[in-house]
Amino acid sequence: MKKLIVTLMMIFLLVLTTKPLLAREEVSFEIKINGQILNIPKGMGAPFIDISSRTQIPARAIIEGLGYVVLWNNDTQTIAILDKKDNLKATLVIGSRLVKLSGGEIIEMDTEAILGSDGRTYVPLRFVSQALGFLIPDDGYAFKDGVHKIDLINSEEINKLSVVLNEKPLYKVWESFFNGRRYVSRYSFMDNQGNIVIEPKEFRDVNNFREGLAVVTYDRRSYGYINTVGDMVIEPNFFRAFDFFEGFARVILFEDRHGIIDKEGSIVFAFDNRSSSIISDFKNGLALARINGEYVFINTAGEIVVRPEIKANDADNFSEDLALIKNYSGWGFINKKGKVIIPLQYLFAKNFSEGIAAVQDKNSKKWGYINKQGDYIIEPKYYEAETFSEGLALVNIGERFNNYYVFIDREGNYIVDLYKVIENIHKEFSDTWIYDVTNFSEGFVAVSYRTYIPNVIGPVSNTSYIDQKGNILTTIYHGHGQLGYGHEFRDGIAEVGNYYINNTGKIIKKW
């Protein structure tokens, strides 16, 4: 099927019938469905980001693009979604956050379906796609060259993973108090408005939610999972437990055997010995495992699917259809047949991202970037280099003990000079030391650094969120004598130090 790339531009503000709907700025989208670019005809409307930071898309375009039929009832302002056999799948009402599925289940979206000033109906892309069996995988979103790139994949295309239709983004909040005998840790969970939706429980540790479940432990000796209302749905019967990916999670049993569970908590597969282990989470149906000393790739049944043609002493899971692998010669890449595609010739290498991989040259010890043919697109010249994210990559253009960090584009052009940005924030500071930088996520990067103020004892620690043009969203002060860290944005929220902020820079929770 011929692929046509259509850039969808919105150059005007959309107005709701009941309240104004403002896009943040002029935005562009490229949306793919199972690898095929969605072509939205002129006059049908264009996707945009609403005031809740959610992607809205013309209802008819996305629903028909996913292979379904749309019926519009103007009297009731209702969208009915049918399959090709005219079976009702779901209904939505304009101005409502509720989606009613054919089986009677009600899903609450985190933003409304709306009627735009152009007379077109718009629906939240993520929720409607999930309700129809499609989802955006972990690597299915990128912001590059001013374009939001979104990949929708049918759940059957990635190992029939179970789609969590009613999952809302939730964020853990920690507190500690003295109960008269000892200090007690408690965790609660909030939504993206800062509202507590799961009341505090005396867990010793928790993970954030993935696919509707979160790892929790009362004692750090046994681990289980709670759902999004706080109920323990998988009992703490595991020595270690990890997040769910594609409907499955890896666990370590009390006999020190590695295994895989489904969302019912049933053990789908477990090794019969302690010498074999599952090293990575599942991605596109595969996980890296080490079986009797051999690095291989298994499916969710524990079957070996990819066996490298050479014996490896280290490896990483597949990313963009290529996997990192290492032997005595160095690091290189194999394909899903186990064949070496890029020779094992690098001192070190990182996974492919956006078609590019960072590699370290053995002779010069410098880092550069290669394409999937193994050709350098940026010659080795950096002291450090990170993977590309949303079109940019962090590199160190300094030398040992004299670091200098900038973000570059695919041509190696300097796009964001972090030190200059920080100097503009703190003109009175000196001797800035950057100690942590995230990847770009949802348009921003978190930069954590220490600076010294003249005539003040001790360094000051801060985290600033910066966009791709070097503009500051916000700066969070961590204090003297301690290091604070910022995390990437996820669904419009970022954790930084003891705060959560939204993508306008507003603090929505302190913990």
The confidence score (pLDDT) of residue 450 equals 87
Q: How confident is the model at residue 295 (pLDDT cuts 50, 70, 90)?
A: very high
Q: pLDDT at position 150, please?
A: 86
Instruction: Lowest mean pLDDT of 190-194, 245-249, 416-420, name the range.
Output: 190-194
Gap between the Cα atoms of 11 and 166, Å rounded: 32
- The answer to whether the CB of 33 falls within 8 A of the CB of 66 is yes
pLDDT at position 401 over 70: no
Give the number of other CB atoms < 10 A from CB of residue 497. 22
pLDDT, average across residues 365-386: 96
Residues 6+ apart with CB under 8 A from 99: 90, 91, 92, 106, 107, 108, 109, 127, 128, 131
**Residue 230 near residue 190, CB atoms below 8 Å:** no
DSSP result, 208-255: PPBTTBEEEESSSSSEEEE-TTS-EEEEEEESEE---BTTBEEEE-TT
Of residues 204, 195, 275, 267, the one with CA closest to residue 237: 267
Q: Is the pTM of this model over 0.85?
A: no
Closest C-alpha among 192, 53, 197, 188 to residue 501: 192
Lowest mean pLDDT among 9-13, 305-309, 497-501: 9-13
Kindly report the backbone phi and psi dihedral angles of residue 188, in degrees, each rounded to the nearest multiple of 5, phi listed first: -125, 175
Residue 359 has pLDDT above 70, yes or no: yes
The per-residue pLDDT for 138 is 57
Structure confidence at residue 432 as a pLDDT band (50, 70, 90) = confident
The domains of the chain, with CATH numbers, are 8-158 (3.30.457.10), 418-511 (no CATH)
Segment holding 61, helix H or strand E:
helix 59-65
DSSP single-letter state for residue 282: -
Name 172's bridge partners.
189
Q: What is the reported pLDDT for 159?
A: 42
pLDDT at 324: 97
Is the pLDDT at 158 greater than 80? The verdict is: no
Look at residue 139 in the predicted model and tell me its pLDDT.
58
Q: Give the DSSP H/E element, type plus range, for residue 493.
A: strand 493-496
Share above pLDDT 70 across residues of the chain, in percent, rounded to a whole number: 85
Mean pLDDT of 114-129: 85
Token look-up 């070996």 returns: 304
Most confident of 47-51, 101-105, 119-123: 119-123
d(CA 11, CA 53): 17
Whole-number mean pLDDT of the chain? 84
For residue 242, which of 207, 200, 290 has the smallest C-alpha distance?
Answer: 207
Distance CA(48)–CA(31), nearest Å, equals: 12
- Say yes or no to pLDDT of 6 above 50: no
CA atoms within 13 A on the CB side of 401: 0
Say yes or no to pLDDT of 51 above 80.
Answer: no
CA dist 386 and 371 (Å) reads 15
Would the pLDDT of 179 be above 70? Answer: no
For residues 431 and 470, what is the distance between their CA atoms, to the nearest angstrom?
A: 20
**What's the pLDDT score for residue 340?**
97
Reported as a pLDDT band with limits 50, 70 and 90, residue 8 is very low
Rounded Cα distance between 222 and 143, Å, is 39
pLDDT at 24 over 60: no
Half-sphere exposure of residue 128: CA atoms within 13 angstroms, side-chain side: 33
Pairing mode, if any, of strands 27-33 and 147-154? parallel
Neighbours of 47 (CB within 10 A): 25
**Sequence letter at residue 380:** P
The pLDDT confidence band at residue 144, using thresholds 50, 70 and 90, is low
Q: Which of 442, 445, 444, 482 is nearest to 462 (CA)?
A: 482
More confident residue, 447 or 139: 447
